[in-house]
Amino acid sequence: MQTGLESSAVADSAIVDPSVEDNGETQWNVIVDAMSDPAVVLDDTGIVVHHNPQVVDLYPRVRIGSPVTMLSREPDLLSAIDSVRETNERFTVQLHDRVPVTRRMSAIVTRINVEDPPPGAPAILIMLRDLTDQEQYAQMRTDFIAHASHELRTPLASLKLIAETLQGPAREDPEKRERFLSMMLVQATRMSQLIDDLLSLSRVEMKAHLLPTDILEVSELAETVMQSLEPLAEAQNIALKFENIEGPVNVRGDREEIAQVIQNLVHNAIRYGKNNGNAKLSITRQQDPSTGQKQVRIAVIDDGIGIAAEHIPRLTERFYRVSAVDSRATGGTGLGLAIVKHIITRHRGEIEVTSEVGKGSMFTAILDSM
């Protein structure tokens, strides 16, 4: 229904605008059309004489020839229009629209024709800016800080509690003291792990727009990472396997970052794997069917708990965990896959996830090969 209204409003503006034929007199509206933000032009009496197509997305009811009140009845906007007529100053007002959706916008109202313009001549320019996205972004940042401090507060609270117990009831009990000290170590390790992950994430984010320039060989790198995870796998009774292809596997990439991708994926395969299960890293080649580009697939396959379909699209969100209790019990903070996603995006690669609850999961990073 709205689409009909939108297109009729666009047609409206196209018919009434005599812009190009008018030997330069009304070329101003070409400029309004070229503006990236939604913009509306009023005459001195507050009638809409022109608007660019972006306005239609925000106000499907906008019409050339109708009063500005058709656009919005926000008192602040209407009084800014009145004031601009008298003072020639520029005004910025905030609009809170609830129809058709809740939206926050700012409007800059400027006088563009000070010389007593006749009716129908452009006199006032309103430039609109949708602040909804910006506010959502600000909200995301606030959530991020809240999450990060919550994650730090939990081990910190444990540390405090243990220290108090050590000062009090466990003071003279060597056995308890020993146990509490190792608990402190676990919590402290957890906090430093979280800080390391947060720093990795912000380092990758800072480099997001820089394409890596180094060429690296993935097989040898993967071998090193697998070896470093062997003790962890052993402790969980998980057999680590590495299936590789012949010859060097070269990609353009940052060595440390690709190592981190493999490390995070294999670590997850171990952490969410099953006792006496397997975790396999497999490197294969493929050709992108649409571009013909040669690619490398780095797949990490486990036969562990698996992931229900509804969680898969959200796994790479910061702090997202299928079960916060399970993940936290094993020292997870939900940042591992967010880091993987950022690194692979920076490398212009892709991540694929397939999984079945109770059967296992496969995480694949796809990178262009050299």
Q: Which residues bind ligand ATP (CB under 6 A)?
A: 197, 264, 268-269, 271-272, 302, 304-307, 315, 320-323, 327, 332-338, 361
Q: In 64-159, which ranges are E strands?
A: 91-97, 103-111, 124-130
304 part of the interface to Mg ion, by CB under 5 A: no
- Euclidean distance between CA atoms 132 and 134, whole angstroms: 5
Minimal distance in Å, beta carbon 271 to Mg ion?
Answer: 6
Minimal distance in Å, beta carbon 198 to Mg ion?
Answer: 14
Nearest residue (CB) to Mg ion, 41 versus 270: 270
Nearest residue (CB) to Mg ion, 62 versus 258: 258
Minimal distance in Å, beta carbon 256 to Mg ion?
Answer: 18
Nearest residue (CB) to ligand ATP, 80 versus 198: 198
CA–CA distance from 210 to each of 203, 206, 257, 261, 346 (Å)? 12, 9, 13, 18, 7
| Interaction partner, residue 361 (ligand ATP, Mg ion, none; CB < 5-8 Å by kind) | ligand ATP
| Interaction partner, residue 315 (Mg ion, ligand ATP, none; CB < 5-8 Å by kind) | ligand ATP
Name the residue among 308, 305, 316 with its Cα closest to residue 341: 316
Residue labelled with tokens 């292809």: 245
Q: Decide: helix, strand or coil at residue 297.
A: strand
200 part of the interface to Mg ion, by CB under 5 A: no
CA–CA distance from 248 to each of 219, 254, 355 (Å)? 7, 16, 29
| Interaction partner, residue 322 (ligand ATP, Mg ion, none; CB < 5-8 Å by kind) | ligand ATP
Nearest residue (CB) to ligand ATP, 130 versus 197: 197
Nearest residue (CB) to Mg ion, 107 versus 298: 298
336 part of the interface to Mg ion, by CB under 5 A: yes
Q: What are phi and psi of 34, to 5 degrees?
A: -80, -10
Q: Which of 219, 263, 268, 316 binds Mg ion (CB under 5 A)?
A: 268
Q: Decide: helix, strand or coil at residue 101.
A: coil
Nearest residue (CB) to ligand ATP, 144 versus 180: 144
Q: Decide: helix, strand or coil at residue 72.
A: coil
- Euclidean distance between CA atoms 148 and 194, whole angstroms: 8
Minimal distance in Å, beta carbon 264 to Mg ion?
Answer: 6
CA–CA distance from 102 to each of 95, 113, 130, 133, 195 (Å)? 10, 33, 11, 12, 37
Residues in the site for Mg ion, rule: CB under 5 A?
A: 268, 336
